[in-house]
Structure 1
């Protein structure tokens, strides 16, 4: 299924910059700054300053509401299952509830400007919040970044991709061991209690076949230069989390088809291995079970509905003829939902009629309940996976709206030995919400961390230099102001940090991008209608 994740918060409204005035006489605390006059647009930072008072750049203070969203990071997932494809949750974490500024055209103020900076014009903005007003200077703790969920027990890294076994796998392994053990008791009663060891071996061998199915997706993705986050074996099978979408419908079709194809190949190999083996023996029973189970996995995953592999193939076909990947996703997702309803109603009826190999007359009440429960679980997984595919497709439509330029906070340049209290005063006067430590030539050296500011009591701030609270800049912490969408998210994922320095193509400082703002922006993008 399609799953996109990422971070970044689109601005509400249009793409025109919404700006706020920064009153140089505003107090250090208070809810808002009064509006100022309306001069022309702000100019970029002059990096050759002397480290004195900073003039205002551009401020971002829109405060959109946040909406909780499950985990996904920009994940495009291809799954194989015991009868269905498990749909992973999106790779985005729930963002903190507090709002964040998301205004465009952030500039680092010229720190050679006079003590009373010229206010910039900000149109259609509900509230102006400086560094002090935002809670940083008041000692309020910054919102914690959500932790990435664990994938279970790491089993290895074939082709450099981590393979995890989720805790739910042990539950289904125990269930398979119990059910297959009962069948062995009828076929090979002489095994006694040892039948459960044979059944456990079957469960492990079957999931090894599922892993081969997922590795087929992974190898195809690597061949097409698509990053694979991980493979996870879970309750109803396995899932390959591919972080980007195929560029063409042809590649999408191949990427989906290779999984069922490998399952069919495995079923054929187990069938050939059965030929020289006596049917009534343990090897014969195991090979027959593995042949049938792989055949079921292949056929079920070829059903044309998301999140199954067949649904991805249908999506690719519709995409090819319509020219629009979103159209293919919508069509395959609704077919997937119809398939879920069919499984819910049809699977118990087929089993009762004996069409699936059982005897309808011999079925008891418990068997009927078990069939209905299994059908409900499978239907719920398919329905949920189809819905997730629609949400991820909608997110991809909104990802281009997530731009580094619109999410960047205005920053004030300060030198190493500047007291924290003075740096915060300059930031408040300029309406800025970030501090960049520069050298005597104005070259950025480090970023003052929000969490570090919180840890300094207010009465100690005149004696604490900003250099002691700053994080040294690395190459990965320099972000182009022109980045947007998945490209921006890829850069942030490559170098995890709490803040990033945003620069123009000319090398001029544009501002500071907070990871917390980006996370909240992603959640808002997920909440927007298609």
Structure 2
């Protein structure tokens, strides 16, 4: 199933609560959620009678053998998720972690695919890996002895074939949903339209999952029990919540292109760093500018006045305060290209949180100042429409 400033790059991301780190793959943490241990015990309990049939006399060790089977099974899930991670890294997207949980696994990929082909390849490689493991295990059944080893290989084959096929169902958050997203994206040229189509596919899949126990007897000839209904409810809830989250995210992101740094920029005036704050404010008012930047003796912008610090400075003190005293030094993250828009703009200001940013043209000249409050206001206005 399926962005940081240099001074923060070394800091590891916070580990989700209720997880245990068991290692890493290609620089990504491999985490096991607490729910996995519950499922491992359930698998051991379910497998124990079958183990007793093929390998009598194990006694309590049959539960240990069941736990080993659970570990082997989730090892194949880890292969599935690792294939997503390796291909995402191949396309330049950071992967922060791989988490094994009660319903399988999840690969935390930062950023978005740039092209439909990338989305398709990252999504489809997981189910293909599971199918390959399943087919390989089927072939292995021809040469391995029966008994306990044969049971493990048989279970591995069946589980991976099932996972591979089910994950190709075209609905988010399944991998097949991302495949559908890539197809609609390719056909329409609109990534968000692809996400919306795949999210609705996920909702339909969730309804099918909750309906399955009621159809089970007609299709398979077996009467559903309480466990069947519980599993159907859990799977349906997982699919519905994932699809709904994707739908909300797509609708939100579809409004982001309206956020354009150049349109939101405030006109600015530039003053020497040692100019009294009162004089800088007077010049800004005369020019009808909404921001002030400070210059060094060579005329190079070195700071941007913080609006909150300016408002907190009493007017009677402003003639005696240098403008530089309420300005933030222009670190690299506070200089942004004036043409930034949409998600790129949001990511850029998220990397270096601040109240103001200086927008510069390609030749380095200052275009204006962008404030976080203006971006927030514009975002709320577009969302509320």
TM-score by length of 1: 0.58
Note the 1:212-227 alignment, pairs <5 A.
212-223=79-90, 225-227=91-93
Q: C-alpha separation between the residues in 2 aligned to 1:202 and 1:392?
A: 38
Task: Compare 452-461 and 412-421 and name the one that shifted more.
Answer: 452-461
Measured after TM superposition, the shift of residue 479 of structure 1 is 1.2
Where structure 1 has 5 or more consecutive residues not aligned to the other structure, the ranges are 1-78, 81-90, 92-147
1:76-107 deviation digits (Å, cap 9, x = unpaired): xxx24xxxxxxxxxx9xxxxxxxxxxxxxxxx
Aligned to 1:439: 296
Q: Name the structure with the higher strand share.
A: 2
Choose between structure 1 and 2 for higher RCO, CA contacts under 8 A separated by at least 6 residues: 1
User: Is it true that 1:292 corresponds to 2:149 in the alignment?
Assistant: no
What root-mean-square deviation, in Å, do the aligned CA atoms of Structure 1 and Structure 2 show?
3.8
| 306 and 442 in structure 1: CA distance in 2 versus 1, 3 angstrom threshold | same
Aligned to 1:170: 34
Q: C-alpha separation between the residues in 1 aligned to 2:22 and 2:313?
A: 44
| 323 and 440 in structure 1: CA distance in 2 versus 1, 3 angstrom threshold | closer
Q: Name the structure with the higher helix share.
A: 2
User: Is it true that 1:344 corresponds to 2:201 in the alignment?
Assistant: no
The DSSP-based 3-state class of the residue aligned with 1:245 is coil
Measured after TM superposition, the shift of residue 405 of structure 1 is 1.2
1:378 to 232, 235, 256: 235
Note the 1:21-32 alignment, pairs <5 A.
none
The DSSP-based 3-state class of the residue aligned with 1:260 is helix
Q: C-alpha separation between the residues in 1 aligned to 2:381 and 2:48?
A: 53
The DSSP-based 3-state class of the residue aligned with 2:297 is coil
Aligned to 2:113: 245
Measured after TM superposition, the shift of residue 260 of structure 1 is 0.4
The DSSP-based 3-state class of the residue aligned with 2:293 is strand
Aligned to 1:313: 179
2:128 to 258, 261, 273: 261
| 183 and 214 in structure 1: CA distance in 2 versus 1, 3 angstrom threshold | closer
Measured after TM superposition, the shift of residue 226 of structure 1 is 4.7
The DSSP-based 3-state class of the residue aligned with 2:255 is helix
User: Is it true that 1:270 corresponds to 2:137 in the alignment?
Assistant: yes
Aligned residues: 369
1:350-396 deviation digits (Å, cap 9, x = unpaired): 2x56839xx53xx6xxx42x322221222222233333333344344
Q: C-alpha separation between the residues in 1 aligned to 2:138 and 2:43?
A: 22
Q: C-alpha separation between the residues in 1 aligned to 2:172 and 2:62?
A: 37
The DSSP-based 3-state class of the residue aligned with 1:502 is strand
| 279 and 410 in structure 1: CA distance in 2 versus 1, 3 angstrom threshold | farther
The answer (yes or no) to whether the contact 2:192–2:253 under 8 Å persists in 1 is no
Measured after TM superposition, the shift of residue 446 of structure 1 is 1.9
Aligned to 2:265: 408
Measured after TM superposition, the shift of residue 267 of structure 1 is 1.9
Q: C-alpha separation between the residues in 2 aligned to 1:469 and 1:211?
A: 52
Where structure 2 has 5 or more consecutive residues not aligned to the other structure, the ranges are 4-12
The DSSP-based 3-state class of the residue aligned with 1:342 is helix
Task: Compare 256-265 and 336-345 and name the one that shifted more.
Answer: 336-345
TM-score by length of 2: 0.77
